[in-house]
A and B are shown apart, each in its own frame.
Chain A
């Protein structure tokens, strides 16, 4: 507990981290307030059955918005981009609120508001985090970023609390000015942010960034995001479908959604403050990355239980039982809580295994292409199931199947994180080496061998020589067999270094000769 308080105090004492904490807090607050209004408005004016369509529409809008965002990101500095994004968000949200006030065409506005708020949810945190990553050095990032992330969650919690308390007084949609004010405040804060820090965090600055798709951790996180977001949106659909049936009145619905958001935010803050550091300490970053995919898979199973319950009732049975609805609420809560806490923090650290430039491009790829693609896929799947008049349990079964896919893909995060660490860490980069050694120490002998043997075959000499030393620490005859299998793919200089190191460690000459003769033959 003292450590938690200390981390918040350290954020407060540093001017730059204080600024980012406030920025993230305001964005969290704005997004939460606007999401409560957006959901209520959509469910009341378009209906839950139109959610699949709005998913597809949102994906289409995101493609355009991402292109514009990427184009802007290439032309202007991140700080300026953040200011532009925040200003645009404030203006568009103001416009939407005015249209709601003048009672403009509701269905179209429901679609538009949905898309705008979701884009704010995606782009604003993405931009602010990119600026933050650029601003802090490795040591500072590890110290400041988790409490700053917690401030974002606290912002979301306060946003939900405000929505819950004032909605009866001002109506479900008149909380939007609070979001507008929050984004406006962020706009001014970003204009006064410090210039970027010259040092990337873990990866060394002395090496040119590798191509984006040659970074194993980037490939894995990018591919994983597709089924993961797909699943999250299918669960979201089932959640809103259920809410639409359970709560009839707009104000009640708004209060219900904000209450749910409060519960999730409190849980997310607690998870961020207690669970995430606990998991990092005991499992390591790589294994912690498996927690969110696991939660999504579990969520899909819970959703299936609810869908089976729905399938067992007559068509005209009325509103579903709240007890069974708890299954789908739990599925959604698992998604929100662990995404905002464990997953966000973990991916932030995982991306530090690659260079800063690669990191920014990878994040843009996920947000700009994979995210809309997965939302579109979930929308299209839901539309096709609707077209063929498939029952909810068939949709939920498809989600369960994708849940298993997410689970399986999640198993790749840890080894690929290590591959990227191995590829990007140099002897002089003590920070990266420490992270690397920590992860390797958590692996079984066979797991570490597979990774180090791969490193031995690269053309990056520093990485291969590191692998030589680590492999020989656990030398046995099975390692010799493995080395003989791959010796044709080892660079000659590395092979020489290997045999020299073997000799230095007193490994019998006959073993070394097997490698040397094999190399000569090949």
Chain B
């Protein structure tokens, strides 16, 4: 889940027992990615959107792989263990809702447009500048997301194979970069089959063992300890923050590049739509299962101790369950990293570089440039992961900024014909600036700390007002004009 805190630093435990399964997992990921490269056949469309041929069931697994990212999955369980059910479950509930909303309102019309990237929609519907702005905002947020996941993977790998993050973080980034360069979206979605499969398996086994293999009445005790409706209804329990988080994820993730590239990659609009529904429901289901695992953790000695972390609780699980649970988290991490790298390199090469350097990067060179751009994106994420391994607030802020500016132009761009290019640029720019300002000056404004979360909700409303107001005031509808188009045949 986006906007959540990645793993806290781990203890220095080393488990040689997990080295071989981890190795098998990573090697097979690489093999799948390299094998998928057979499908690219020199075509940008195959590399970017897998030729629009991804079947329903792969899309479901792939969307779940993106939705259930490492930081969010871990954070969901850890918060449910330390604070309570809603503190954790709000993350999968929000992101699952966003997938369902994408299925309801966005999947069919966007799939029908045969887009290569989400910013292409803004370029085609409004103007290239709005597409480039969306691309920049998304790339920044995705680099932070990749870094957070890489840092989390480093901690897990230390637990699994005993190697420090300084080695494992660049190694994992290199592995993912290699197969992404080779196989593009084919490599990424096919790997999601493995990674999401392992994630579901690990969660199912851990939950099953904890409920049926633990002490009797453990579930009742967990609910008694950590479940209450108050966080949803009481201001003092932080209800605004919970609802703001839910809305930010539920609506903000509609503009997630990685979700949308899977929608574009679907073999039919029906597959795109249905897969979003199923993936949304599965994400919520798996997320709730993870939250329940956290709640059960709070009933154990390891989980109930003062300042206990989820990793300490995981350490107390039977070794077979622990192995599967760690592999599930690895699956969650790596599936998000490859999807995010893929999505950001596409936006960078297609919507920024090709847009502003059409002569140097014609369509015939776009594939090469996209592949090359994987390297700087991966390096940037690795450096950020090593220098600033717990991005926390920064990650939340990055996705809040995307939520602030990008959702309204996308939605009204599809459903309201009078939206104009100028309105789109302004509706992206000013709310994004406002969101940054609210982040830095929230305390100076003297707002009630219990209202924390409102800073997430105000900017999208401003975006709506700007977009509607400016469009309304334009003398004639945008739909009658000819918007500048991206160059080349791949429109």
CB interface residues, B 203-241, toward A, < 8 Å: 205, 209, 213
Q: Please indicate the chain B residues that have their CB under 8 angstroms from the CB of A385 in the complex.
A: 20
Are the CB atoms of B194 and A223 closer together than 8 Å? no
CB interface residues, B 454-491, toward A, < 8 Å: 489-491
Are the CB atoms of B319 and A311 closer together than 8 Å? yes
Q: Please indicate the chain B residues that have their CB under 8 angstroms from the CB of A445 in the complex.
A: 268
By a beta-carbon cutoff of 8 Å, the part of chain B in contact with chain A is 16-17, 20-21, 24-25, 28, 31-32, 35-36, 38-39, 41-46, 51-53, 55, 58, 114, 190, 193-194, 197-198, 201, 205, 209, 213, 267-268, 271, 318-321, 323-324, 327, 363-364, 489-491
Give the interface size class of chain A.
35 or more
Are the CB atoms of B25 and A446 closer together than 8 Å? no
Q: Which of A388, A446, A478, A482 contacts B268 (CB 8 A)?
A: A446
CB 8 Å contact bits of A360-383 with B (1 = contact, 0 = none): 000000000000000000000000
Are the CB atoms of B53 and A412 closer together than 8 Å? no
CA distance A286 to B90 in the complex (A): 43
Q: Please indicate the chain A residues that have their CB under 8 angstroms from the CB of B21 in the complex.
A: 394, 397-398, 401
Q: Which of B41, B42, B193 contacts A408 (CB 8 A)?
A: B193
Known: A397-B323, A481-B114. A412 touches B38 (CB 8 A): yes
Are the CB atoms of B51 and A450 closer together than 8 Å? yes
Q: Please indicate the chain A residues that have their CB under 8 angstroms from the CB of B490 in the complex.
A: 481, 485
Q: Which among A393, A398, A401, A478 has the greatest number of chain B C-beta atoms within 10 A?
A: A401
Q: Please indicate the chain A residues that have their CB under 8 angstroms from the CB of B267 in the complex.
A: 444, 446-447
Q: Would you give the shortest CB distance from B205 to chain A, in whole angstroms?
A: 7
CB interface residues, A 465-510, toward B, < 8 Å: 478, 481-482, 484-486, 488-489
Q: Which of A393, A407, A447, A489 contacts B193 (CB 8 A)?
A: A407
Q: Which of B28, B36, B319, B489 contacts A485 (CB 8 A)?
A: B489
CA distance A312 to B205 in the complex (A): 12
Are the CB atoms of A390 and B17 closer together than 8 Å? yes
Are the CB atoms of B24 and A397 closer together than 8 Å? yes
Q: Please indicate the chain A residues that have their CB under 8 angstroms from the CB of B320 in the complex.
A: 307-308, 311-312, 391, 393
Are the CB atoms of A485 and B35 closer together than 8 Å? no
CA distance A196 to B397 in the complex (A): 73
CA distance A385 to B17 in the complex (A): 10
Q: Would you give the shortest CB distance from B74 to chain A, in whole angstroms?
A: 20
Q: Please indicate the chain A residues that have their CB under 8 angstroms from the CB of B209 in the complex.
A: 312
Q: Would you give the shortest CB distance from B59 to chain A, in whole angstroms?
A: 13
Q: Would you give the shortest CB distance from B41 to chain A, in whole angstroms?
A: 6
Q: Please indicate the chain B residues that have their CB under 8 angstroms from the CB of A485 in the complex.
A: 43-45, 363, 489-490
Q: Which among A219, A301, A307, A407 has the greatest number of chain B C-beta atoms within 10 A?
A: A407
CA distance A380 to B300 in the complex (A): 40
CA distance A400 to B271 in the complex (A): 27
Are the CB atoms of B205 and A301 closer together than 8 Å? no
Are the CB atoms of B319 and A481 closer together than 8 Å? no
Are the CB atoms of A312 and B213 closer together than 8 Å? yes
Are the CB atoms of B20 and A405 closer together than 8 Å? no
Are the CB atoms of A397 and B489 closer together than 8 Å? no
Task: Given contact pairs A385-B20, A404-B193, A485-B45, enumerate 20 new A-B contacts (beta carbons under 8 Å).
Answer: A223-B35, A304-B201, A308-B320, A308-B321, A311-B320, A390-B17, A391-B17, A393-B320, A394-B17, A397-B24, A398-B20, A398-B24, A400-B198, A404-B32, A444-B268, A446-B52, A450-B51, A481-B114, A482-B45, A486-B43
CA distance A391 to B327 in the complex (A): 16
Which 4 residue pairs are nearest across A and B when measured between Cβ atoms? A484-B489, A404-B194, A311-B320, A446-B52
Cβ of A162 within 8 Å of any chain B Cβ, yes or no, is no
CA distance A400 to B364 in the complex (A): 40
Q: Please indicate the chain A residues that have their CB under 8 angstroms from the CB of B363 in the complex.
A: 485
CA distance A409 to B194 in the complex (A): 12
| A388: nearest chain-B partner, CB-CB | B20
Q: Would you give the shortest CB distance from A410 to chain B, in whole angstroms?
A: 11
Are the CB atoms of B53 and A444 closer together than 8 Å? yes
- The 5 sampled A-B contact pairs (Cβ below 8 Å) are A312-B320, A408-B36, A412-B39, A444-B53, A444-B267
Are the CB atoms of A308 and B205 closer together than 8 Å? yes
Q: Which of A394, A412, A482, A486 contacts B20 (CB 8 A)?
A: A394
Q: Please indicate the chain B residues that have their CB under 8 angstroms from the CB of A484 in the complex.
A: 489
Q: Which among B31, B318, B364, B491 has the greatest number of chain A C-beta atoms within 10 A?
A: B31
Q: Would you give the shortest CB distance from B410 to chain A, in whole angstroms?
A: 21
CA distance A407 to B58 in the complex (A): 11
Q: Please indicate the chain A residues that have their CB under 8 angstroms from the CB of B41 in the complex.
A: 454
Known: A390-B17, A478-B114, A518-B489. A401 touches B364 (CB 8 A): no
Q: Please indicate the chain B residues that have their CB under 8 angstroms from the CB of A400 in the complex.
A: 197-198, 201
Q: Please indicate the chain A residues that have their CB under 8 angstroms from the CB of B25 in the complex.
A: 401
Q: Which of B17, B51, B53, B198 contacts A401 (CB 8 A)?
A: B198
Q: Please indicate the chain A residues that have their CB under 8 angstroms from the CB of B491 in the complex.
A: 481
Q: Would you give the shortest CB distance from B393 to chain A, in whole angstroms?
A: 36
Q: Please indicate the chain B residues that have their CB under 8 angstroms from the CB of A411 in the complex.
A: 55, 58, 190
Cβ of A357 within 8 Å of any chain B Cβ, yes or no, is no
Q: Please indicate the chain B residues that have their CB under 8 angstroms from the CB of A478 in the complex.
A: 114
Q: Which of A311, A312, A405 contacts B194 (CB 8 A)?
A: A405
CA distance A447 to B45 in the complex (A): 13
Q: Which among B24, B32, B39 has the greatest number of chain A C-beta atoms within 10 A?
A: B24
Q: Would you give the shortest CB distance from B53 to chain A, in whole angstroms?
A: 5
Are the CB atoms of B32 and A405 closer together than 8 Å? yes
Q: Please indicate the chain A residues that have their CB under 8 angstroms from the CB of B31 in the complex.
A: 405
Q: Would you give the shortest CB distance from B109 to chain A, in whole angstroms?
A: 15
Cβ of A402 within 8 Å of any chain B Cβ, yes or no, is yes
| A393: nearest chain-B partner, CB-CB | B320
CB interface residues, A 398-441, toward B, < 8 Å: 398, 400-402, 404-405, 407-409, 411-412
CA distance A308 to B28 in the complex (A): 21
Are the CB atoms of B28 and A402 closer together than 8 Å? yes
Q: Would you give the shortest CB distance from A352 to chain B, in whole angstroms?
A: 22
Cβ of A165 within 8 Å of any chain B Cβ, yes or no, is no
Q: Which among B58, B114, B320 has the greatest number of chain A C-beta atoms within 10 A?
A: B320
| B25: nearest chain-A partner, CB-CB | A401
CB interface residues, A 210-232, toward B, < 8 Å: 219, 223
Q: Would you give the shortest CB distance from B170 to chain A, in whole angstroms?
A: 23
Q: Please indicate the chain A residues that have their CB under 8 angstroms from the CB of B318 in the complex.
A: 311-312
Cβ of A384 within 8 Å of any chain B Cβ, yes or no, is yes
CA distance A409 to B46 in the complex (A): 17
Are the CB atoms of A450 and B32 closer together than 8 Å? no
Q: Please indicate the chain A residues that have their CB under 8 angstroms from the CB of B53 in the complex.
A: 444, 446-447, 450
Are the CB atoms of B323 and A401 closer together than 8 Å? no
Q: Please indicate the chain A residues that have their CB under 8 angstroms from the CB of B324 in the complex.
A: 308, 397
| B189: nearest chain-A partner, CB-CB | A408
CA distance A307 to B44 in the complex (A): 44
Q: Please indicate the chain B residues that have their CB under 8 angstroms from the CB of A397 in the complex.
A: 21, 24, 323-324, 327
CA distance A384 to B39 in the complex (A): 33
CB interface residues, A 332-370, toward B, < 8 Å: none
CA distance A485 to B364 in the complex (A): 8
Q: Please indicate the chain B residues that have their CB under 8 angstroms from the CB of A450 in the complex.
A: 46, 51-53
CA distance A404 to B205 in the complex (A): 18
CA distance A412 to B268 in the complex (A): 18
| B187: nearest chain-A partner, CB-CB | A408
Are the CB atoms of B52 and A408 closer together than 8 Å? no
CA distance A260 to B364 in the complex (A): 59
Are the CB atoms of B201 and A301 closer together than 8 Å? yes
Q: Please indicate the chain A residues that have their CB under 8 angstroms from the CB of B268 in the complex.
A: 444-446
| B29: nearest chain-A partner, CB-CB | A401
| A488: nearest chain-B partner, CB-CB | B364
CA distance A420 to B214 in the complex (A): 55
Q: Please indicate the chain A residues that have their CB under 8 angstroms from the CB of B213 in the complex.
A: 312
CA distance A484 to B488 in the complex (A): 9
Q: Please indicate the chain A residues that have their CB under 8 angstroms from the CB of B364 in the complex.
A: 488
Q: Would you give the shortest CB distance from A219 to chain B, in whole angstroms?
A: 8
CB interface residues, A 101-154, toward B, < 8 Å: none
Q: Would you give the shortest CB distance from A489 to chain B, in whole angstroms?
A: 8
Q: Please indicate the chain B residues that have their CB under 8 angstroms from the CB of A409 in the complex.
A: 35
Q: Please indicate the chain B residues that have their CB under 8 angstroms from the CB of A301 in the complex.
A: 201
CA distance A412 to B42 in the complex (A): 17
